[in-house]
């Protein structure tokens, strides 16, 4: 009997095919955002090929610049949204915060360069306040984040619709530069996008807040037992998310030259930002993912948009394609994740994978 069970126990290699890929690419691919970059690459190749065959230019400086500029607004909100989703929360109020910020910014500036600082300051302050309210309602009143931020969004929306019928205010002339000028070949707005994404990335990687956010989103109980003040982390994430939305609003005020009560809802930045985050490989239930994935998600959407535009596909067909691609990508991530979990579990149990074959060591126990 003893011989029947004293077989050697090979360790199963976990992590699937990614483990075999070495070097820098392998390191990236093994992160949770790994497959996102693969999707980005595939989408890039397809878009490039399709547009080129169609006789368009995909990689021209102008076209790349155009794609990037169009990613700025969504990219900034989505960067903020990444933070709350990593903390297992979400923010449905961002669209209204964006509209509100564009109006507050443009009205405060009122076409005067001298008011730029005041305008920006005021908008950021309001964003901070809204984020605080969101975070406090979720943590202290323990209202589900979905309902809490939906409610806060409705309050802002009510204020907007009651006070504004259409565009209002006037962005200061110097402030318009943010939306339209370039620094060398790179548009200022793109620099802003990369600055925000970079800041969020640095925050996640290099700050205590970032480390703890992953912990709170991954397993709140473990975080608590390790001494993390979970409420504070969630509130901070919401404040930062609302600030990102406020910055988006300012950027849009600069692009439009005025504030608009509908600019946030029209592009449905609330739902689109959540979609971009999830497309970017961040787990909707928190604790897994990152802002670089989100950036990739936003770029995937921008490339698709651009390609459809160049092919002169009907704008509404874009939405259909976009929806399908989001579902397909997220389904692919979840399948991959389950596979990995399964092989981990087998490894943890010390059992050989069935593919390896079970040696006929137990021939003694036949019927």
Window 83-122: residues binding another protein (CB under 8 A): none
Per CB under 8 A, contacts with another protein among 313-342 are 314, 316-320, 322-324, 326-327, 330-331, 334-335, 338, 342
| Options 25, 121, 125, 146; binder of another protein; rule CB under 8 A | 146
Secondary structure element (H or E) that encloses residue 186, with its range: strand 186-187
Q: Return the number of the residue (9 or 113) whose C-beta is nearest another protein.
A: 9
Q: How far is the CB of 197 from another protein (least distance, A)?
A: 18
Bridge-partner residues for 186, per DSSP? 183
Q: How far is the CB of 58 from another protein (least distance, A)?
A: 23
Contact 72, 78 (CB under 8 A): no
DSSP type of residue 10: P
Considering only residues 43 through 62, tell me which ones interact with another protein, judged by CB under 8 A. Answer: none
Chosen residue from 144, 173, 181, 195 binding another protein by CB under 8 A = 144
- Alpha carbon distance 156, 139 (integer Å): 20
Q: How far is the CB of 254 from another protein (least distance, A)?
A: 26
Q: 9 is written with which tokens?
A: 């126990």
Give the Cα separation of 248 and 96 in Å (integer): 11
The tokens 């392998």 sit on which residue? 26
Q: Which residues, 253 to 312, sit near another protein by CB under 8 A?
A: 271, 274-275, 278, 284-285, 287-288
Closer to another protein by CB, 257 or 270: give it.
270
Q: Which sign, positive or negative, has the C-alpha torsion 13, 19, 20, 22?
A: negative
With CB under 8 A as the contact rule, the residue among 35, 119, 210, 297 that binds another protein is: 210
Residues contacting another protein: total by CB under 8 A: 94
Q: What's the helix, strand, coil split of the chain in %, to 5?
A: 75, 0, 25
Assess 10 for contact with another protein (CB under 8 A). Answer: no
- Confirm or reject binding of residue 24 to another protein (CB under 8 A): no
> Binding to another protein by residue 208, rule CB under 8 A?
yes
Q: Cβ closer to another protein: 114 or 350?
A: 350
Select from 22, 141, 166, 184 the one that contacts another protein (CB under 8 A): 141
Half-sphere exposure of 152 (CA within 13 A, CB side): 28
Nearer Cβ to another protein, position 113 or 144?
144
* Cβ neighbours around 200 below 10 Å, total: 26
Tokens of 226: 């390790």
The β-bridge partners of 183 are 186
CB 298 within 8 A of CB 276: yes
Among 104, 193, 228, 302, binds another protein (CB under 8 A): 228
């Amino acid at each position: 009997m003893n011989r029947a069970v004293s077989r050697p126990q090979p360790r199963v290699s976990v992590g699937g095919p990614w483990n075999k890929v070495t070097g820098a690419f392998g390191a990236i691919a093994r992160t949770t955002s790994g497959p996102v970059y693969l999707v980005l690459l595939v989408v890039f190749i397809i878009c490039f090929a399709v547009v080129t065959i169609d006789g368009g230019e995909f990689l021209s400086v102008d076209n790349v610049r155009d794609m990037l500029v169009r990613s700025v607004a969504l990219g900034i909100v989505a960067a903020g949204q990444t933070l709350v989703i990593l903390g297992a929360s979400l923010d449905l109020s961002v669209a209204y915060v964006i509209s509100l910020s564009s109006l507050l910014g443009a009205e405060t500036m009122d076409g005067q360069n001298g008011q730029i600082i005041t305008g920006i300051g005021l908008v950021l302050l309001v964003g901070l306040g809204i984020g605080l309210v969101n975070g406090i309602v979720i943590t202290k009143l323990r209202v589900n984040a979905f309902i809490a931020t939906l409610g806060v969004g409705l309050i802002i929306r009510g204020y907007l619709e009651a006070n504004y019928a259409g565009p209002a205010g006037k962005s200061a002339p110097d402030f318009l530069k943010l939306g339209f000028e370039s620094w060398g070949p790179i548009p200022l707005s793109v620099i802003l996008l990369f600055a925000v994404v970079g800041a969020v990335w640095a925050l996640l990687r290099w700050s205590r807040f970032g480390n703890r956010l992953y912990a709170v989103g991954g397993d709140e109980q473990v975080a608590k037992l390790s001494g993390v003040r979970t409420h504070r982390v969630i509130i901070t994430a919401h404040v930062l998310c609302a600030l990102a939305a406020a910055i988006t609003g300012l950027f849009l005020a600069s692009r439009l030259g005025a504030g608009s009560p509908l600019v946030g809802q029209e592009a449905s930045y609330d739902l689109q930002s959540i979609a971009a985050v999830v497309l970017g490989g961040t787990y909707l239930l928190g604790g897994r993912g990152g802002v670089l994935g989100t950036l990739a998600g936003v770029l995937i959407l921008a490339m698709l948009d651009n390609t459809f535009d160049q092919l002169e596909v009907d704008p509404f067909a874009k939405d259909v394609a976009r929806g399908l691609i989001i579902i397909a990508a997220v389904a692919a991530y979840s399948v991959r994740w389950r596979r990995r979990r399964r092989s981990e579990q087998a490894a943890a149990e010390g059992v050989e994978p069935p593919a390896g074959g079970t040696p006929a060591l137990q021939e003694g126990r036949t019927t």
